[in-house]
């Protein structure tokens, strides 16, 4: 009997050993992030229940059910997905990050009055490297806290901005400003253009998360000759252009009177459509403009809150989407918004066009979410890197908590993300495989130190405003 038992045990051990030997060895990865729901934003808008994403060296290597990922990969770093949606990080297609320090400074004014009587003079007086550094870091904290993982910035002292972004861990297109009249650090076009090109040359290929760009301000602040020079320089450098386009009716009237064509037509003649251009606002395009933008290398960035607040108008987003224009979402600067909350922009984009057109089918929840992720990334030239949870792309992703009773009941995840979720529901932020925020705590910005700096700067601005 003892011999029989020994034979049986030996057989069991042999079979178990063979089974273990036949199992493929799990790949060790840097991180596995989970979600009760994983929203991939791939072409079929796939939602994986009880899903996970495996990350190695900043790249997504596996997307699937939690069981599948756990069978194939192992990691010491795991982000729990209980009561969470795991999804791509949001892309803020247009902002002026450091302008958080002008938040609430001048409200309820027409765009041109706001710019010429308040913003431009205050920038000339107060914008320096210290303000830009402190303001950018404060803005980075706010964007990380709200689930933005990539943004397009256009502001003075771009080297300072790029340095702050590198420290904070976000991904950014940092565009060097160029303008025809005196601005912080510059006497006019010649020195701002030269400095912008030199910035781009310094930063091209220098940092994996930072893409340099040139930013001729707008068709009404930069001459046609200078606009052409900026597009030519960007083309030769192989970098994007970021520019305000057809933002306000006054701009359209000025350009039409001066050149006999629309802003889009003017810029198209200078090469805008054939190279990567990030066109901010695009509130007043003609039907011909929209047709020209469709299928081009230019992406349009919709900034609903800023455009409403300045009375600039409402961009024809449904027409642009129907035509095939890549449309992203942006907050603009906090001086005209007054925050950097892309969830608010998503919800407003989905609701605004329904109300204006009296058609509830326009700009659906998934289209609004697409503009903030996959399509938004394409619009700003980052579609080959981010915007989708897919093997081979960079690991830029967030977790949104569903723990609040506000999410009960849950019939449709996409609906809740657009019509229910708020920036405070974001609890985790990952960029390039690095955790920037976990359990709602931003790890990469010393916000207390930043607030000391920003309060010192803003106290001087406040005193000046009170004495105006």
Q: Quick check: 431 and 396 in contact, CB under 8 A? A: yes
Long-range CB contacts (< 8 A, 24+ apart) of 60-68? 60/389, 60/390, 60/391, 60/392, 60/393, 60/394, 60/395, 61/27, 61/29, 61/391, 62/29, 62/391, 63/38, 63/389, 63/390, 63/391, 66/34
Closest CA to 29 of 78, 67, 86, 65: 78
258 or 23, higher pLDDT: 258
Instruction: Band the pLDDT of 21: cuts 50, 70, 90.
Output: very low
Least confident of 10-14, 133-137, 191-195, 427-431: 10-14
pLDDT of 5 higher than 90: no
H-run or E-run covering 35: strand 31-39
C-beta neighbour count of 351 within 10 angstroms: 17
97 or 1, higher pLDDT: 97
Strands 84-88 and 90-95: unpaired
**CA distance linking residue 397 with residue 389, whole number of Å:** 8
Q: What is the mean pLDDT of residues 175-180?
A: 97
pLDDT of 222 higher than 70: yes
pLDDT of 22 higher than 70: no
Neighbour-count burial for 145-177, b at 16+ CB within 10 Å, e otherwise: bbbbbbbbbbbbbbbbbbbbbbebbbbbbbbbb
Confidence at residue 115, expressed as pLDDT on a 0 to 100 scale:
84
pLDDT of 401 higher than 80: yes
Q: Quick check: 52 and 99 in contact, CB under 8 A? A: no
Confidence at residue 23, expressed as pLDDT on a 0 to 100 scale:
61
Q: What is the mean pLDDT of residues 319-325?
A: 98
Domains in the chain: ranges and CATH: 24-88+392-442 (2.30.40.10), 90-379 (3.20.20.140)
H-run or E-run covering 2: helix 2-22
Average pLDDT, the chain: 94
Place of tokens 């306000």: 248
Closest CA to 177 of 126, 161, 167: 161
pLDDT of 45 higher than 90: no
Name the token pair of 150: 């990539």
Confidence at residue 15, expressed as pLDDT on a 0 to 100 scale:
45
Instruction: Band the pLDDT of 352: cuts 50, 70, 90.
Output: very high
**CA distance linking residue 350 with residue 364, whole number of Å:** 6
How long a stretch of residues is the chain?
A: 468
Confidence at residue 114, expressed as pLDDT on a 0 to 100 scale:
86
Confidence at residue 14, expressed as pLDDT on a 0 to 100 scale:
52
| SS3 (DSSP) at 337 | coil
Name the token pair of 316: 């024809």
Instruction: Band the pLDDT of 10: cuts 50, 70, 90.
Output: low
Q: Quick check: 349 and 302 in contact, CB under 8 A? A: yes
Angle at 422 between CA 248 and CA 416, to 5 degrees: 105
Q: What is the mean pLDDT of residues 143-150?
A: 98
Q: Quick check: 53 and 38 in contact, CB under 8 A? A: yes
Beta-bridged to residue 299, according to DSSP, are 278
pLDDT of 363 higher than 50: yes
Q: How far apart are the first and last CA of the chain?
A: 103
Q: Is the pTM of this model over 0.85?
A: yes
Confidence at residue 249, expressed as pLDDT on a 0 to 100 scale:
93
**CA distance linking residue 431 with residue 394, whole number of Å:** 8
Closest CA to 380 of 274, 461, 299, 465: 299
Percent of the chain with pLDDT over 70: 95
Least confident of 86-100, 116-130, 316-330: 116-130
């Amino acid at each position: 009997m003892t011999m029989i038992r020994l034979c049986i045990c030996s057989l069991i051990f042999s079979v178990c050993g063979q089974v273990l030997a036949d199992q493929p060895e799990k790949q060790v990865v840097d991180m596995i992030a989970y979600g009760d729901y994983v929203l991939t934003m791939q072409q079929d808008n796939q939602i994986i229940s009880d899903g996970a994403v495996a990350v190695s060296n900043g790249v997504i290597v596996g997307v699937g059910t939690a069981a599948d990922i756990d069978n194939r990969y192992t990691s010491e770093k795991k982000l729990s997905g209980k009561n969470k949606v795991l999804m791509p990080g949001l892309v803020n297609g247009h902002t002026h990050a450091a302008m958080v320090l002008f938040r609430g400074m001048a409200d309820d004014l027409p765009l041109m009055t706001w710019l010429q009587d308040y913003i431009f003079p205050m920038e000339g007086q107060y914008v320096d490297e210290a303000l830009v550094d402190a303001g950018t870091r404060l803005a980075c904290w706010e964007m990380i806290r709200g689930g933005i993982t990539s943004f397009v910035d256009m502001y003075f002292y771009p080297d300072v901005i790029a340095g702050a972004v590198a420290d904070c861990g976000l991904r950014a297109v940092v565009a060097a400003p160029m303008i025809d009249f005196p601005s912080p650090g510059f006497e006019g076009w010649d020195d701002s253009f030269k400095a912008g090109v030199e910035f781009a040359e310094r930063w091209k290929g220098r940092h994996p998360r930072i893409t340099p760009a040139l930013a001729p301000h707008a068709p009404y602040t930069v001459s046609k000759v200078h606009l052409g020079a900026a597009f030519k320089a960007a083309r030769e450098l192989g970098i994007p252009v970021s520019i305000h386009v057809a933002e306000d009716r006054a701009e359209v009237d000025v350009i039409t009177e001066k050149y006999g064509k629309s802003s889009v037509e003017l810029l198209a003649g200078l090469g805008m459509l054939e190279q990567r251009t990030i066109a901010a606002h695009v509130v007043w395009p003609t039907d011909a403009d929209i047709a020209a933008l469709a299928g081009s290398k230019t992406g349009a960035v919709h900034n609903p809150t800023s455009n409403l607040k300045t009375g600039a108008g409402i961009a024809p987003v449904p027409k642009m989407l129907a035509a095939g224009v890549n449309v992203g979402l942006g907050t603009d600067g906090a001086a005209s918004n007054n925050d950097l909350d892309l969830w608010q922009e998503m919800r407003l984009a989905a609701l605004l066009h329904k109300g204006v057109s009296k058609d509830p089918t326009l700009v659906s929840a998934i289209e609004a979410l697409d503009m903030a992720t996959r399509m938004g990334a394409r619009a700003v030239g980052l579609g080959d890197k981010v915007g989708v949870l897919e093997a081979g792309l960079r690991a830029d992703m967030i977790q949104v908590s569903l723990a609040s009773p506000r999410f009960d009941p849950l019939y449709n995840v996409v609906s809740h993300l657009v019509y229910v979720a708020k920036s405070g529901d974001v609890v985790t932020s990952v960029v390039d495989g690095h955790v920037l925020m976990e359990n709602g705590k931003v790890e990469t910005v010393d916000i207390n130190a930043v607030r000391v700096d920003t309060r010192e700067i803003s106290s001087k601005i406040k005193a000046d405003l009170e004495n105006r």
